[in-house]
């Protein structure tokens, strides 16, 4: 029987809520290379989008798997908010992915392949290992979200407004709930060794499936083996400033034994987004 515990050893800032939003982005059509007319940049984001619906279901299942062991009402309320946010993310990315399906990309094949790995993980890993895997992916999404919000021009450049809006909204909610699974993991006695082991396997697996999905899109467009595609990709990911350079230090912080996601307090980015963008895309319930 678990004893009551504090919600977090590093609580989220008090002005940050973990609650889902109803949004409408007006994403009704999509140009094939919607990001700066560049195949790699467009398909990098498309590749991530095709990971989300199933990935987010895995996250939800993993936290539900330990929920009965948690007694802290604050943490239980955060878990409820987390599950609701991730469910909406999956739904919005399904709509985005349907536009890709209409363009002739084989999204079902990508889903089947990802489903195989997800089911295998659920079969082979203990509940705690599954939750540690979710913590690891949540760290990836949190540090990518942070960089996307801090350096919007580098990440989304001249992308259409609807695409900027959907990626920013997802980034904000990933920031709001970035510590929920981590706190749940610690609350059920999850330790450092498993957390790090699962981060190493997640880093390998996340890189593999993202690359596979991006390559699928590039191959369908007939640009997989073009030097210009990979020149652009290298510049986008590894050049200066380069997305990977922007997240690498934050990624390494996860390996510190005392790490907690809210040690990176970037909650002012949430306030800025709320002030500038939230109203425009919010769906207000009918009065």
Interface contacts to Fe ion, rule CB under 5 A:
86, 89, 174
Long-range Cβ contacts of 202-205 (<8 Å, 24+ apart) = 202/133, 202/136, 202/137, 202/140, 203/136, 205/117
Pick between residue 39 and residue 137 the one whose CB is nearest to Fe ion: 137
Pick between residue 23 and residue 218 the one whose CB is nearest to Fe ion: 23
Min dist. Cβ of residue 155 to Fe ion (A): 16
Pick between residue 226 and residue 260 the one whose CB is nearest to Fe ion: 260
Pick between residue 233 and residue 261 the one whose CB is nearest to Fe ion: 261
Cα 101 from Cα 85, distance rounded (Å): 24
Min dist. Cβ of residue 93 to Fe ion (A): 8
Pick between residue 89 and residue 195 the one whose CB is nearest to Fe ion: 89
Min dist. Cβ of residue 82 to Fe ion (A): 7
Min dist. Cβ of residue 254 to Fe ion (A): 15
Pick between residue 81 and residue 233 the one whose CB is nearest to Fe ion: 81
Min dist. Cβ of residue 81 to Fe ion (A): 11
Cα 188 from Cα 128, distance rounded (Å): 8
Pick between residue 164 and residue 221 the one whose CB is nearest to Fe ion: 164
Min dist. Cβ of residue 62 to Fe ion (A): 11
Pick between residue 100 and residue 172 the one whose CB is nearest to Fe ion: 172
> At a CB cut-off of 8 Å and minimum separation 6, what does 89 contact?
52, 56, 170, 173
- In the bound complex, which residue of the shown chain has the CB atom lying closest to Fe ion? 89
Cα 267 from Cα 14, distance rounded (Å): 10
Min dist. Cβ of residue 137 to Fe ion (A): 8
Min dist. Cβ of residue 181 to Fe ion (A): 8
- Identify the burial level of 101 via C-beta atoms within 10 angstroms of its C-beta, where 0-12 means exposed, 13-18 middle and 19 or more buried: middle
């Amino acid at each position: 029987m678990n004893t009551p515990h504090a919600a977090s050893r590093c609580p989220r800032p008090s002005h940050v809520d973990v609650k889902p939003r109803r949004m409408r982005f007006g994403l009704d059509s999509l140009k094939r290379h919607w990001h700066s007319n560049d195949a790699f940049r467009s398909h990098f984001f498309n590749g991530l989008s095709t990971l989300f619906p199933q990935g987010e279901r895995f996250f939800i299942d993993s936290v539900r798997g330990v929920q009965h062991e948690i007694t802290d009402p604050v943490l239980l309320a955060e878990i409820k908010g987390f599950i609701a946010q991730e469910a909406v993310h999956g739904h919005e990315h399904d709509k985005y992915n349907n536009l890709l399906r209409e363009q002739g990309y084989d999204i079902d094949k990508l889903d089947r392949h990802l489903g195989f790995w997800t089911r295998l993980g659920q079969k082979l890993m203990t509940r705690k290992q599954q939750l540690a895997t979710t913590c690891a992916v949540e760290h990836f999404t949190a540090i990518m979200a942070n960089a996307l919000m801090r350096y919007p021009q580098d990440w989304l450049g001249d992308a259409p407004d609807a695409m900027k809006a959907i990626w920013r909204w997802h980034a904000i909610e990933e920031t709001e709930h970035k510590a929920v699974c981590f706190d749940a993991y610690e609350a059920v006695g999850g330790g450092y060794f498993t957390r790090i082991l699962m981060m190493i396997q997640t880093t390998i697996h996340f890189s593999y499936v993202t690359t596979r999905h991006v390559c699928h899109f590039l191959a369908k467009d007939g640009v997989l083996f073009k030097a210009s595609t990979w020149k652009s990709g290298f510049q986008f990911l590894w050049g200066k400033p380069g997305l990977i350079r922007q997240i690498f230090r934050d990624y390494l912080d996860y390996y510190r034994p005392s790490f907690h996601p809210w040690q990176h307090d970037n909650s002012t980015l949430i306030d800025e987004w709320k002030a500038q963008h939230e109203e425009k895309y919010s769906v207000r319930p009918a009065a």
